[in-house]
Amino acid sequence: MTVVDGGDDRVETLARTSPVRTRLAYVAFVIGPTALAVLVLKFGFSGGVTALAAKADPVAVPLAEPGSVLYKLLLSAAVIVICAHLCGSLAQRFGQPRVIGEMMVGFLLGPSVLKLLAPDLAAAIFPTDILPFLDAIAQVGVVLFMFLIGLELPLSKLRRATGTALLTGHASIAVPFLLGVLTALLIPDEYRPVGVSPMLFAAFVGLAMSVTAFPVLARILTDGKLAGTPIGGLGMLTAAIADVTAWCGLALVVTLASDGNPAVVLRTVLLTVVFVVVMWTVVRPLLAWVASRAEKNTNHQRGVMVLLLFVILVSALITDLIGVHSIFGAFLAGMITPRVRATEEFSHQLEGLTFWLMLPLFFAIVGLRTRFDELTTLTGWLVLVLVIVVAVAGKAIGTILPARIAGLDARDAKTLAAMMICRGLTEIVVLNIGLSMGLITPSLFAILIAMTLVTTMMTSPLLARLRRTPVTPQPAPS
């Protein structure tokens, strides 16, 4: 306070002129020139503003008008953001992660609820000409989200993963994948898009059954105070291994779906391998070197953040050009990013915009594509029940039995299986890719989305019940 007052005193001592002279100078050098400029604008140009308006391009509508793209985009985004926040808070009150409520917003605002109850209001909030803009922002949000997933993976622990984590992580993918492939044989042909081979369809359904949402699970374990426990640590490591395995499987399915020509598939695989090698052997050491310099000099942190954003966008662009989808480049960029103070600050700043704005827009776009009214048929309900049973059974069998063989007691094995059931946002990203590539029909998309919501909502109650069960203390497995 003293310094500020001293500074003001020094200013006063520098300005020794009288108040009257200051006011006169203000009139002469501020009010006078401004008034003259207004007079020149008013009388010095023929036609004035109206002549300019008459020559204006009719396409260039003022952005403040209700019919403009910006107006519609801001209206849609504002409604989505506030609804996502309210539903996320409501989900937390019922012991669910916020993402459950945020996921529900998209479906409440979509054709299954809002458009059915108030079609005029739905059309006003989500006019068809604004959807491509919402979708573009949402896809950027998914790219940034995938970077954060890769960054959250415990890379140092993954390198040392052996025994129980490696066995359960891979088994929790392999067994659900097999059951999912078998389930695809039972699903009626009407749920398989025309022109999609049964093998490719079955591969994607199997993959959709095997996904575990690592980031959502991490937040559930943190909220439930399990993240610091031995079983919580094992669950995080198992989910991380399963996540990496599932993304590799999805990359292969996307590659096969992009072009059936074996030469094209081989080229895509080779380019992907080259890209991964370059990222790991060239870009990763470069980022580590830059980050180490920023650790010594905090003035370089801003440059590191800009470089990281550049790497994310370019990596996503390259994998999109290769043909394995942009999310894989962003995911790999997150994996190779060094875990230092500058990257932690970058991820913290990135999370705000991603989780508060872009991902709610993604949920809304997914909700607008989902029609739960198509599940009103008896066949639809039977397929939904089948999918949910297989999704839960696959994770249970693929986790409990291998965990018991590895030496875990019954309660810990069941707890681990409950963690692997969680699918969350990761599953929605996978399903959205399948729908956009035409691998599944909108009807099956809605069924799999419903399965995602049910299985994700099961995770927290199951964990709470299992950890309350009394058990004789046993040494933690190695």
Q: What is the pLDDT of residues 78-130, one digit of tens each?
A: 999 999 999 989 988 888 888 888 888 888 888 878 888 888 898 888 888 88
Rounded mean pLDDT of the chain? 82
DSSP states of 190-227 as a string?
GGS-TT--HHHHHHHHHHHHH---HHHHHHHHHHTT-T
Neighbours of 375 (CB within 10 A): 16
* 368 against 317, higher pLDDT: 317
The pLDDT score that the predictor gives to residue 259 is 63
Confidence at 473, pLDDT banded by 50, 70, 90: very low
Closest CA to 242 of 223, 274, 217: 217
| pLDDT over threshold 60, residue 352 | yes
Enclosing H/E stretch for 342: helix 341-353
pLDDT digits (tens, 9 = 90+) for 373-402: 767 788 889 999 999 999 999 999 999 999
What pLDDT is recorded for position 90? Answer: 92
| Residues present in the chain in total | 478
Q: Give the DSSP H or E segment for 2.
A: helix 2-14
Angle at 336 between CA 330 and CA 337, to 5 degrees: 85
- Cα–Cα distance, 340 to 155 (Å, whole number): 13
**Model pLDDT, residue 63:** 42
> CB neighbours of 317 closer than 8 A, spacing ≥ 6?
326, 329
Query: Percent of the chain, pLDDT > 70?
Result: 84
Buried b / exposed e over 240-251, threshold 16 CB at 10 Å, is bbbbbbbbebbb
Does residue 474 carry a pLDDT above 60? no
Q: What value does the CA radius of gyration of the chain take, rounded to a whole number of Å?
A: 28
Residue 475 has pLDDT above 50, yes or no: no
Distance, in Å, from the CA atom of 124 to the CA atom of 128, rounded to the nearest integer, reads: 10
| 3 vs 234, higher pLDDT | 234
CA distance 270 to 264: 10
pLDDT tens profile 417-428: 999 998 888 889
Cβ contact 185:420 at 8 Å: no
The closest alpha carbon to 416, from 395, 391, 389, 388, belongs to 395
Is it the case that residue 412 has pLDDT exceeding 80? yes
User: Of 404, 400, 435, which is closest to residue 418 (Cα–Cα)?
Assistant: 400
Q: What is the pLDDT of residue 96?
A: 83
